[in-house]
Structure 1
C-alpha cells in the first residue's frame, strides 16, 4: 500500500515533468528554469528511491 507521502512525491514529480516539457516546447526556452526544474525532479526521484 502506498503512503500519502509517496503519492504526493509522485504527483510533484509528474508536475515537474510537465513543467519541463512546457518550458522546452517554448520558442525560446529558459535554460536556467529547465535546470532548476530538473534538479527538483531529481531530488524527488532520489527521495522516492530511498523509501
Structure 2
C-alpha cells in the first residue's frame, strides 16, 4: 500500500469517526453532518480512482 493510499484511508476513518460523533449528538447540526458526508465521499472516490489506476498500490 502506498503512503498516499494509507493517508487517504486514515483520513477517511477520521472523518467517519467525526461523522458518527456528530450524528450521535442530541442537537445534531445537519449542515455539519452533510459536510462530513461529502468529505467522506470525496475521499472514497479518490481511493476508488486510485485503486482503478494502480491496482498493485491498493
How would you bin the TM-score normalised by the shorter chain? over 0.9
Unaligned runs of 5+ in 1: none
TM-score, length of structure 2 as denominator length: 0.84
For the pair shown, the structure with the greater C-alpha radius of gyration is: 2
2:26 match: secondary structure: coil
Matches within 5 A, 1:1-51: 2-51=1-50
Relative contact order higher in (CA < 8 Å, ≥ 6 apart): 2
TM-score when normalising by structure 1:
0.95
Q: Which runs of 5+ in 2 are unaligned?
A: 51-58
4+ residue segments displaced more than 4 Å: none
Alignment length, in residue pairs?
50
Quote the RMSD (CA, aligned, Å): 0.4
